[in-house]
Chain A
């Protein structure tokens, strides 16, 4: 108990230091210009990091696996599909593109719908082996990717140009116009999700035990699946897909805190996430002086970590 509190405090301090360093270190070219830019960027990282951590931990509890994340099942590729389809059929001048909020709402709705269909199909009462789920995720991801490529090849070149600028989001190119709505969604999700936390603690004992203890199981699974899709959608719209971040931070949190308490796990995973993004980006920019973004590095490390987790799991099973 007390140990975990200390750990959380230490992580929070590291996160704050990372944020301060990122915002203030070696600031050039006029404080009043550079500082707000950096704050925007850091805000996007905090939102993304928290959203992904929250979505992944809750998703993994209701699906009873620690190796799959919503991103890995192709939920965030759906964002590209929606945007491409809109540009293709309605065009960049249409209300679906011009109105930021409508566009955002449509993307989220489509991603949630896609996720629900996917999960209904994949995570029914009868358990599928994990490799089958992974395979399905990969195939769906590839399928969506091909669809996007196909539409982009035959789309009008001018439309393509503006579609590209829409899709090309990253930590260097944050969609700042979406920051406010992202914050609203994140805060709303947290308030809504707060009441679910203790039920999630019980759900980590498994479906049967949870039902025995009076948890309205199916309803909470549905709520969590919707919530996690909304959060992943938000983060994807803001800074583009970061496939492996959720996997890394959730598993680090499980290992580091070794508890069933979601309040601790989620806060812990969020802090780890913020440190990885903000601290990582700081190191990349100022220490290693690379011009790449942290997403690339996280996906690289995350891929390796994933292989390690799979090997560990198969050794346990074998």
Chain B
């Protein structure tokens, strides 16, 4: 279980995350939503130790993450950032193999190879595993990075807008895989999404941020309704029921 207690962060004088406290439910998908600049990425960076918080703590099963060993932490929590640019030239397989680094320290065992194979298969990258990343399309590259995070095989998987650059088919494919990781392997997924319909259909819980503050935190159905969404986005968002799913139809809405 991840517990976030009173996290705050300012850049210069500008508060970006203000006193956010919440508990990430284990074995569930939690979606972070909110407008651009709400502080979602910053919050996720602090939870995953990429960024130091000004105040507040993050606990992973009761232990303060700041005090955990880097390598132990990397075996339990994986993060994929919003944008990923590499200065080195790697093949897809080499990138995915890096996901095993916390375990193998660069000397891959047969077990590592199995994890790598499986992660590549999950993202259907099998036919391009020997290709260099700079030869891939934006979406293919994104899938390679997700593959690396899956190979890392952590209990907690944090993904910052993983559907960036992906077409509908691959977006659905990835959300289904995440569902499978949660339902079958008992992983915990935290995912930042801008497409609230994906959040609505696939997540168990939703956390909404706005101007650095936590404005909503609850089961998906409590958040996906017009009143709650107005608070988050300052915009009228009609919600319709479709095959048992709530779909937001905001495309020509007026605020």
Verify B105–A260 contact, CB threshold 8 A: no
Alpha-carbon distance A258/B80, docked complex (angstroms): 25
Q: Which of B45, B75, B89, B106 contacts A258 (CB 8 A)?
A: B89
Query: Please, what's the 1-or-0 string for A238-276, where 1 marks a CB less than 8 Å from any CB in chain B?
Result: 000000000000000000001010000000000000000
Contacts of A215 in B (CB 8 A): 70, 101
Q: Which of B48, B87, B105 contacts A212 (CB 8 A)?
A: B48
Verify B99–A213 contact, CB threshold 8 A: yes
Verify B79–A212 contact, CB threshold 8 A: yes
Verify B101–A213 contact, CB threshold 8 A: yes
Interface residues in B, total, Cβ within 8 A: 29
- Taking the complex as formed, is B66 at the interface, i.e. its CB lies under 8 A from any CB of chain A? no
Alpha-carbon distance A211/B88, docked complex (angstroms): 17
Q: With CB as the reference atom, state the residue of chain B lying closest to A125.
A: B51
Contacts of A149 in B (CB 8 A): none
Contact status of A205 and B88, CB under 8 A, knowing A211-B49, A212-B78: yes
Alpha-carbon distance A204/B70, docked complex (angstroms): 17
Verify A214–B89 contact, CB threshold 8 A: no
Query: How distant is B43 from chain A, measured CB to nearest CB, in Å?
Result: 15
Alpha-carbon distance A213/B98, docked complex (angstroms): 8
Contacts of B84 in A (CB 8 A): 206, 209
Alpha-carbon distance A211/B98, docked complex (angstroms): 12
Verify A208–B106 contact, CB threshold 8 A: no
Verify A213–B49 contact, CB threshold 8 A: no
Contacts of A213 in B (CB 8 A): 74, 98-99, 101-102, 152
Contacts of B70 in A (CB 8 A): 211, 214-217
Q: Which of B45, B50, B88 contacts A260 (CB 8 A)?
A: B88
Query: How distant is A307 from chain B, measured CB to nearest CB, in Å?
Result: 21
Query: How distant is A312 from chain B, measured CB to nearest CB, in Å?
Result: 14
- Taking the complex as formed, is A159 at the interface, i.e. its CB lies under 8 A from any CB of chain B? no
Query: How distant is A309 from chain B, measured CB to nearest CB, in Å?
Result: 14
Verify A205–B99 contact, CB threshold 8 A: no
Task: Determine the interface band of chain A, counting residues with CB < 8 A from chain B.
Answer: 20 to 34
Contacts of B45 in A (CB 8 A): 208
Contacts of A258 in B (CB 8 A): 89
| Interface hits, A190-233 → B, CB 8 Å | 198, 201-202, 204-209, 211-217
Contacts of B86 in A (CB 8 A): 205-206
Alpha-carbon distance A213/B49, docked complex (angstroms): 11
- Taking the complex as formed, is A38 at the interface, i.e. its CB lies under 8 A from any CB of chain B? no
| Interface hits, B69-123 → A, CB 8 Å | 70-75, 78-81, 84-90, 94, 98-99, 101-102, 105-106
Q: Which of A205, A208, A217 contacts B98 (CB 8 A)?
A: A205
Q: Which of B73, B85, B88 contacts A214 (CB 8 A)?
A: B73
Verify A212–B106 contact, CB threshold 8 A: no
Verify B50–A212 contact, CB threshold 8 A: yes
Query: How distant is A259 from chain B, measured CB to nearest CB, in Å?
Result: 8
Q: Which of B50, B78, B81, B98 contacts A202 (CB 8 A)?
A: B98
Contacts of B49 in A (CB 8 A): 211
Contacts of B152 in A (CB 8 A): 212-213
Query: How distant is B248 from chain A, measured CB to nearest CB, in Å?
Result: 31
Contact status of A206 and B85, CB under 8 A, knowing A212-B74, A215-B70: yes
Q: Which of A64, A201, A209, A216 contacts B106 (CB 8 A)?
A: A201
Query: How distant is A89 from chain B, measured CB to nearest CB, in Å?
Result: 42
Verify B101–A202 contact, CB threshold 8 A: yes
Query: How distant is A308 from chain B, measured CB to nearest CB, in Å?
Result: 19
Q: With CB as the reference atom, state the residue of chain B lying closest to A219.
A: B70
Query: How distant is A16 from chain B, measured CB to nearest CB, in Å?
Result: 29
Q: With CB as the reference atom, state the residue of chain B lying closest to A220.
A: B70
Contacts of B73 in A (CB 8 A): 214
A residues in contact (CB < 8 Å) with B: 64, 66, 198, 201-202, 204-209, 211-217, 258, 260
Q: A208-B45, A212-B78 are in contact. List 18 more A-B contacts (CB 8 A).
A: A198-B106, A205-B86, A205-B88, A205-B98, A206-B85, A206-B86, A207-B50, A208-B50, A208-B79, A209-B84, A211-B50, A212-B80, A213-B99, A213-B152, A214-B72, A215-B101, A217-B70, A260-B90
Listed by A's residue number, 25 A-B pairs whose Cβ atoms lie within 8 Å are A198-B101, A198-B106, A204-B88, A205-B86, A205-B88, A205-B98, A206-B84, A206-B86, A207-B50, A208-B45, A208-B50, A211-B50, A212-B50, A212-B78, A212-B80, A213-B74, A213-B98, A214-B70, A214-B71, A214-B73, A214-B74, A214-B75, A214-B101, A215-B70, A216-B71
B residues in contact (CB < 8 Å) with A: 45, 48-50, 70-75, 78-81, 84-90, 94, 98-99, 101-102, 105-106, 152
Closest 10 CB pairs of A and B: A214-B74, A198-B106, A214-B71, A214-B102, A260-B88, A216-B70, A213-B101, A204-B88, A214-B70, A212-B79
